[in-house]
Structure 1
């Protein structure tokens, strides 16, 4: 583990501060021996490496103001200081520092599909020919990047969910159903901004409520302000939820349902002790490999560089599947060790056997993100005659071994919205 130490500076920046301020800084900055002098270089370098936000000059300014502020002003400054400290990224695993801006490929799994045997088609072409997908002419009533999964494609969605959740239950995960609407402070406590031009979060009008981008946020919020027992850790949870993302992409390789505003996902989440999080991350990574290997798709495991970690992750693994119809690698999953980053912001502790309190560590991972897995499955398992072979692991949930053209599809009539004159 890499510790970013704050080294003494030649120039004195701060005078001694109150114990309350000292405690606040200790929670969000690396261990300090003294509050008298700081060198913020290591933290600044970490911000640049990870390409995240963090205004160290403002933090220094607020610390200076706190020295001479009266009691009423101190409360306001403390809130502002805490808000700025929240924006700082997590520390970074030492191994990741060697990757610069490129991920390290760890391994590849399953054989590359033999694209010479058949003329490989892209997912949308396969699905539309079978009449099991609708993505066009939906803007009038469902908006941009909407989609309908029809008949066999909808059945495969449910089969994937059951396949993933049953597998997680066999690994002693507890299944939990979570809300899709969350307070903004829970989402921000998990490390995602809810305001600003580049936010991925749907905010509900002027309310302090947002649509959840992943069940990880609700699962972390479930433990907010709790003190757990060390002997009860790790806790492993799995959840099926709809995920809402405000951003989409105009890139050709991300067309169709590759990047959409909402989708179904099976998520893994754990709260654990600081000594357990590395092992839990490896467990999640291995579960993902086992799940995707059973589906017969060709994929690779990547250890991600600092620039791809976002703010919360200490270390993150991505899994990319080969999409033969598009002839590109596409991300289908990731898992992250967030150490105590989220726990500090949500107040989640555990009591050790000696009765001392520690912040828990949180780990998350995607077991099944439906749209991209559908793309990988249909493009990988398409046959010469136009049908698609269903992997054996999913056949038990579908009672069939392949999908063909859907001959009966309900007609979708588009209705133009009319603005009637106000006669009142």
Structure 2
């Protein structure tokens, strides 16, 4: 009997909580022929997860369900705790890694493609320094805490234009718009791959009075919450969704270049999400990346596409591509977009399935990708298109949206005082 079937049978016979359990692939996780492969994958992905503990927990459960005369006495509560441990350890095992994902840390990422021209401006300014005289960017830690900011006048309009531009480009590619909640259960964020290490810096905001509820770090989580426990007909897939939302992240800067607007605690993002069959997911990931490339090519910036290494895949991604833009004022490559194929990692944890032609229920695959993130898009566009005299020559796609009388320049005016 397959391990997954055995696990379900034992769980149903001895406990009454099997319906609450995620549909994890124990036939894969507990296959002794694959144990070394899984162990190597864990090591290549920052070592999160312990396959040996998973095996030892399962063997203990097996011993307690076999040979009634020899098994040790155990209470129902103790038996349930063993099941809790089995699933807890299984949930910690990361997704598999695509064969083409480079092994190791970020320095091993593969540059797949590069496009656009680098700015030839001598001594380009930081975006924040560039707009300082325009008084369109304010920082007020008294109002909202560290890393809070206010965009006003032309800068606020430019952010809106960037978000609308990316959103419309995604809609043109057949995505259905959705609006999702910015509050999501931590069970969903973990199912999406957010893993908080004990003693580590917080990676999500939790509500004080509702510790099992988090502020969403991306619309991917809100969409996942909306789709959990859903069943689709195969003919309904792929399902393509797009959402614009506020994203909340307790980020910390790793260098002076990441200060100010580069790494903030909240920003807007346009997120793409795809539900598909296993046979479709690689093609859908490529489609997401193509959309992202076209968005940033339209902004006329210098950028590159990277095939991310195993240590950069997080827990959920099987394969991941990042787009980095050259930010002349900062003199660095900054990540502005990311796309991942999560295969069935999220779907198994959220019970998202599809019905095959034979009537079987199987986990779907999910893919996600950032169309645009507001603050880093602002940095990239303004630092790239600044002029020697401190003006901005915007790309055509933004000129059209802002509708300025002067076609090649965005005028910044002093904002009226806030009252």
- TM-score normalized with structure 1 length: 0.87
Of 26, 51, 54, which aligns to 2:49? 54
Unaligned stretches of 5+ residues in structure 1: 1-13, 413-424
- After superposition, the CA RMSD in angstroms is 2.4
Partner of 2:109: 103
Is the contact between residue 136 and residue 415 of structure 2 (CA under 8 Å) also seen in structure 1? no
**2: CA distance, partners of 1:104 / 1:331:** 14
Partner of 2:399: helix, strand, or coil? helix
Q: 1:100 to 1:159 in 2, by over 3 A?
A: closer
Deviations 1:43-76 (A, max 9, x none): 1211110114112232233213212155543333
**2: CA distance, partners of 1:283 / 1:292:** 15
Deviations 1:155-212 (A, max 9, x none): 0111111111111111110010010011111111111135743331000014111100
Is the contact between residue 164 and residue 367 of structure 1 (CA under 8 Å) also seen in structure 2? yes
Of 401, 412, 415, which aligns to 1:408? 415
Q: 1:195 to 1:144 in 2, by over 3 A?
A: same
Q: 1:273 Cα shift? A: 0.3
Q: Does 1:202 align with 2:197?
A: no
Relative to its length, the structure with more helix (as a share) is 2
Partner of 1:419: none
Partner of 1:303: 307
Unaligned stretches of 5+ residues in structure 2: 12-17, 65-73
Q: How many aligned positions are there?
A: 392
Partner of 1:358: helix, strand, or coil? strand
Q: 1:297 Cα shift? A: 0.7
> For residues 335-350 of structure 1, what are the structure 2 equivalents within 5 Å?
335-350=339-354
Q: 1:309 Cα shift? A: 0.3
Of 71, 79, 92, which aligns to 1:74? 79
- TM-score normalized with structure 2 length: 0.88
Deviations 1:364-391 (A, max 9, x none): 0000101001000000101122111221
> For residues 132-281 of structure 1, what are the structure 2 equivalents within 5 Å?
132-135=136-139, 138-193=140-195, 196=198, 197-207=200-210, 208-281=212-285
> For residues 373-388 of structure 1, what are the structure 2 equivalents within 5 Å?
373-388=377-392
**2: CA distance, partners of 1:156 / 1:408:** 15
Is the contact between residue 23 and residue 348 of structure 2 (CA under 8 Å) also seen in structure 1? no
Of 33, 42, 50, which aligns to 2:37? 42
**1: CA distance, partners of 2:147 / 2:255:** 13
